A and B are shown apart, each in its own frame.
Chain A
């Protein structure tokens, strides 16, 4: 049993590290990061991965070693000790310092992503003049772009279902809202997640640095259809985005005119 147990407990760190090692090449790993702060978040993840990885291997190997070494049949008694004060101080102080290091190294990125004060201020879209609103409801995403005066009420508001079109390479700020229950705006490629709460208007920002289409996923249980609340974020180069928005406006006006004509 001693050798079986040693093997079993030794396999934990070996296979544990191996699984993490091979995961990226099989795609069982982060989807590509395409947002300005995605790389920062990934970097923090890797710092912690190294720190916990080393601790994991060290402790698991010591455990397996103890099982191997002290599991032998031995008629003598175990060492009669109740502890060691110095050792306790060391293994309290060292992790304390490391953990504080981890904690403090997180703060800047957190503030950059979530603090209203640190939202980008120079671009077209700011916390006071967002690109628009994203409304979540069972089981639907609605993106609303304000009219040319910046109003979000009235007939000239562009409303798109399940599709959030944004310009490339500039900070995009929007207000996240919910009509009914909790939802969560999650774009894995942006490393961005924020719950939508009914009754709250939550400003969110990101900057997409690569054009393309990305999955928008609801990440907070919102009912039976939660799994299919799939939206898309379309990132277009700034000029294409402007052209798209202009075309949408045009179409909206045209529809409006037609309707008016019909009414007459």
Chain B
């Protein structure tokens, strides 16, 4: 068995075969092993560290934004003020537009997507499907290394003339395409577009790998309907990326051409920006600003589901494991994820209800958008069904996963207002929208990421994270998250617009300042509270308690591998006999039944 054998890969066949594991050990040098590694686990960990680093950067920007909203145009404390040395630690209106532009860009493209699909997609897919590595390990490595020029371009913008991109993370033209429109449109926007293109290429390589690995490399007996929901979530997210990303990449290149070669895809005729006429700008004109919005949201709405569907999968895995009960309605869970993804392609117009798009089209987009709440509701009911009559263990990953469910309910329900076109006329681009997507992406996805970090840390590093610190981290994070984002509903209903550097220049908003102060203070506490996580993470990395293969008594495949798994992942041959959530099965004494365990009795699902 020690020679590398070609693997027979039965696809969707119930007949269990055997998997041949290669035990070839080539000793690799430090650089090949930890830096330019082709091992999916190392690449996953690289993505994780990159993502967490950017989380700090994006978080700092959020803090500066919150400072400005509570106490506009005042001097910031040194921890934030260092970002604005030229203006005496006070944010300028130009800098404020750059802050929220780059906060959004970094959090979406450099934190959430890399952490979910980059870090955990890489780490989990081969381990949970029983593959020795990704289908294309070199492509996988290249995928990570494309993040480096992407990160460089994203940050480089700050150091160019005029500063970073300042047209919002949505980069609506003509603000983003015409250089005289904003300082950030000088060259910051070009760097931004390059960053986005590199990230896109990176995601694309990842997605190709994930889909191929999941389709072709599952262990014998691992049928599609025996895959953990994490894998389903990642699979669906990868498909979304494959179908939607080319559109964004094409649109970015069109915008790049508009900016550099002065084509006019998005530039209308007779445009005069800041007293600079179109002739001077050199635009060929005849274009349509709304075209960008369509192309951008055709990717970026599915991107929202790329950011939440894997998180739903992680939460499902973690809830079943720590509630010691099978997932309630596994198939409806799979179908609802697929439903969310499918509907996700025909709802992009809900970002454009007030944009000037034909209102007739808005009507259709409203119906599809409202209906997307249906699969989301089904998922929530099934999580509750899973918890019903379960045996909950209050571990840190479980608390964060439960937090995910609780917060996702809020984020999901508030979406219905936005989907309803007449209501959206009023609340579009107000803080109720900000509240909504932070409940989904921060309180939802980031909670799921925390749950995943705590849950799979033992598999990644062979040590567990400290439970006491973890619980402290959870309690504070849960409280402050709600203090920050919940009352944004109220200030949104009061009509406060997002992206407004100084809301109090409008009479309508002046009475909201005290509420914004409360929100900002909560945000600072939320940020500071993450120290519990940082300390716990690094301490546990080196001094955490060592654990064996299966510290949580979980039944999915990754827990059959050593902790941490070596090169090639599994040290024994695998055959899968059942689904991933056979907790509390009456067939065995203990309350879990690993997917690989062969029983003499009848086989369960």
* Interface positions of A (Cβ within 8 A of B): 1-2, 4-5, 8-9, 12, 15-16, 19-20, 23, 27-31, 37, 40-41, 44-45, 48, 51-52, 55-56, 59-60, 62-63, 66-67, 70-71, 74, 76-84, 87-88, 91-92, 95-96, 99-100, 102-103, 106-107, 109-111, 113-115, 138, 179-182, 184, 186, 188, 191-200, 202, 215, 217, 219-228, 230
Closest 10 CB pairs of A and B: A199-B268, A114-B359, A83-B329, A188-B495, A78-B325, A77-B584, A28-B490, A66-B387, A79-B389, A52-B413
- Contact check, B493 vs A9: say whether CB atoms are below 8 A apart: no
What total of chain B residues lie within 8 Å of the partner, measured CB to CB?
115
Q: Which residues of A contact B174 (CB under 8 A)?
A: 180-182, 198
- Other CB < 8 Å A-B pairs besides A113-B422, A193-B428, A226-B97, 16 of them? A4-B475, A8-B478, A44-B423, A56-B413, A74-B391, A77-B324, A77-B584, A83-B382, A83-B385, A84-B328, A106-B366, A111-B359, A194-B356, A197-B289, A224-B94, A228-B505
- Contact check, A66 vs B417: say whether CB atoms are below 8 A apart: no
- Contact check, B410 vs A56: say whether CB atoms are below 8 A apart: yes
- Contact check, A82 vs B355: say whether CB atoms are below 8 A apart: no
- Contact check, A184 vs B387: say whether CB atoms are below 8 A apart: no
Q: Does residue B78 face the partner (Cβ distance < 8 Å to A)?
A: no
Q: Which residues of A contact B377 (CB under 8 A)?
A: 55, 91, 95
Q: Which residue of chain A has the shortest Cβ distance to B471 in the bound complex?
A: A1
- Contact check, A28 vs B491: say whether CB atoms are below 8 A apart: yes
- Contact check, A197 vs B356: say whether CB atoms are below 8 A apart: yes
Q: Which residue of chain B has the shortest Cβ distance to A74 in the bound complex?
A: B391
- Contact check, B381 vs A80: say whether CB atoms are below 8 A apart: no
- Contact check, A198 vs B289: say whether CB atoms are below 8 A apart: yes
Min CB distance B172 to A, Å, is 6
What is the bound-complex CA distance between A84 and B388, given in angstroms?
13
Q: Which residues of A contact B381 (CB under 8 A)?
A: 91
Q: Which residues of A contact B494 (CB under 8 A)?
A: 27-31
Which of B173, B389, B493 is close to A28, meaning CB atoms less than 8 Å apart?
B493
What is the bound-complex CA distance between A16 and B481, given in angstroms?
13
Q: Which residues of A contact B389 (CB under 8 A)?
A: 70, 78-79, 81
- Contact check, B360 vs A115: say whether CB atoms are below 8 A apart: yes
Q: Which residue of chain B has the shortest Cβ distance to A185 in the bound complex?
A: B354
Given the known interface contacts A41-B425, A180-B174, the answer about A66 and B392 at a Cβ–Cβ threshold of 8 Å is: yes
Which of B92, B328, B422 is close to A44, meaning CB atoms less than 8 Å apart?
B422
- Contact check, B359 vs A195: say whether CB atoms are below 8 A apart: no
Most buried by A among B168, B270, B507: B507
Given the known interface contacts A59-B409, A88-B332, the answer about A221 and B491 at a Cβ–Cβ threshold of 8 Å is: no
- Contact check, B97 vs A5: say whether CB atoms are below 8 A apart: no
Given the known interface contacts A79-B325, A114-B362, the answer about A102 and B503 at a Cβ–Cβ threshold of 8 Å is: no
15 A-B Cβ contacts within 8 A?
Answer: A12-B410, A19-B486, A20-B490, A28-B490, A48-B417, A52-B414, A63-B387, A67-B402, A71-B394, A83-B331, A103-B367, A181-B174, A215-B506, A217-B497, A224-B183
Given the known interface contacts A29-B490, A191-B426, A215-B506, the answer about A82 and B181 at a Cβ–Cβ threshold of 8 Å is: no
What is the bound-complex CA distance between A129 and B146, given in angstroms?
56
- Contact check, A198 vs B325: say whether CB atoms are below 8 A apart: no
Q: Which residues of A contact B512 (CB under 8 A)?
A: 28
Give B61-75 as 1s and 0s: 1 = Cβ < 8 Å from A's Cβ atoms.
000000000000000
Q: Which residue of chain B has the shortest Cβ distance to A116 in the bound complex?
A: B359
What is the bound-complex CA distance between A217 and B494, given in angstroms?
13
Given the known interface contacts A19-B490, A198-B271, A228-B505, the answer about A221 and B97 at a Cβ–Cβ threshold of 8 Å is: yes
Q: Does residue B583 face the partner (Cβ distance < 8 Å to A)?
A: yes
Q: Does residue B571 face the partner (Cβ distance < 8 Å to A)?
A: no
Q: Which residues of B contact A29 (CB under 8 A)?
A: 490, 493-494
Give B493-534 as 1s and 0s: 1 = Cβ < 8 Å from A's Cβ atoms.
111010111110111100110010000000000000000000
- Which of B231-239, B249-257, B368-376 interfaces with chain A? B368-376
Q: Which residues of A contact B421 (CB under 8 A)?
A: 106, 110, 114
Q: Does residue B247 face the partner (Cβ distance < 8 Å to A)?
A: no
Q: Which residues of A contact B268 (CB under 8 A)?
A: 197-200
What is the bound-complex CA distance between A80 and B386, given in angstroms?
10
Which of A5, A74, A107, A222 is close to B402, meaning CB atoms less than 8 Å apart?
A5
- Contact check, A193 vs B425: say whether CB atoms are below 8 A apart: yes
Most buried by B among A28, A52, A84: A28
Q: Does residue B131 face the partner (Cβ distance < 8 Å to A)?
A: no
Min CB distance B408 to A, Å, is 10
Q: Which residue of chain B has the shortest Cβ distance to A83 in the bound complex?
A: B329
Given the known interface contacts A28-B491, A31-B495, A227-B505, the answer about A106 and B416 at a Cβ–Cβ threshold of 8 Å is: no
- Contact check, B410 vs A23: say whether CB atoms are below 8 A apart: no
Q: Does residue B186 face the partner (Cβ distance < 8 Å to A)?
A: no
Q: Which residue of chain B has the shortest Cβ distance to A16 in the bound complex?
A: B486
Q: Which residue of chain B has the shortest Cβ distance to A46 in the bound complex?
A: B423
Q: Which residues of A contact B308 (CB under 8 A)?
A: none
Q: Which residue of chain A has the shortest Cβ distance to B94 in the bound complex?
A: A224
Min CB distance A72 to B, Å, is 9
Min CB distance B280 to A, Å, is 13
Q: Does residue B178 face the partner (Cβ distance < 8 Å to A)?
A: yes
Given the known interface contacts A19-B486, A199-B268, the answer about A9 and B390 at a Cβ–Cβ threshold of 8 Å is: no
Q: Which residue of chain A has the shortest Cβ distance to B495 in the bound complex?
A: A188
Given the known interface contacts A77-B391, A88-B378, the answer about A227 and B385 at a Cβ–Cβ threshold of 8 Å is: no
Q: Which residues of A contact B178 (CB under 8 A)?
A: 180-181
Q: Which residues of A contact B489 (CB under 8 A)?
A: 19-20
Q: Which residue of chain A has the shortest Cβ distance to B384 in the bound complex?
A: A62
Interface residues of B in 296-351 (CB under 8 A from A): 323-332
Given the known interface contacts A103-B366, A180-B274, A188-B426, the answer about A224 and B97 at a Cβ–Cβ threshold of 8 Å is: yes
Min CB distance B300 to A, Å, is 16
Min CB distance A91 to B, Å, is 5
Q: Which residues of B contact A184 (CB under 8 A)?
A: 354, 429
Q: Does residue B80 face the partner (Cβ distance < 8 Å to A)?
A: no
Q: Which residues of A contact B427 (CB under 8 A)?
A: 45
Q: Which residues of B contact A62 (CB under 8 A)?
A: 384
Q: Which residue of chain A has the shortest Cβ distance to B407 in the bound complex?
A: A12
- Contact check, B323 vs A78: say whether CB atoms are below 8 A apart: yes
Min CB distance B379 to A, Å, is 11
- Contact check, A221 vs B378: say whether CB atoms are below 8 A apart: no
Q: Which residues of A contact B367 (CB under 8 A)?
A: 103
Which of A12, A55, A180, A194 is close to B354, meaning CB atoms less than 8 Å apart?
A194
Given the known interface contacts A109-B422, A180-B181, A223-B97, the answer about A63 and B405 at a Cβ–Cβ threshold of 8 Å is: yes
- Contact check, B273 vs A110: say whether CB atoms are below 8 A apart: no
- Contact check, A30 vs B495: say whether CB atoms are below 8 A apart: yes
What is the bound-complex CA distance between A41 and B427, given in angstroms?
10
Given the known interface contacts A62-B384, A82-B328, the answer about A45 and B371 at a Cβ–Cβ threshold of 8 Å is: no
Min CB distance B420 to A, Å, is 5
What is the bound-complex CA distance between A186 and B591, given in angstroms?
59
Q: Which residue of chain A has the shortest Cβ distance to B174 in the bound complex?
A: A181
Q: Which residues of A contact B355 (CB under 8 A)?
A: 195, 197
What is the bound-complex CA distance between A48 and B410, given in angstroms?
13
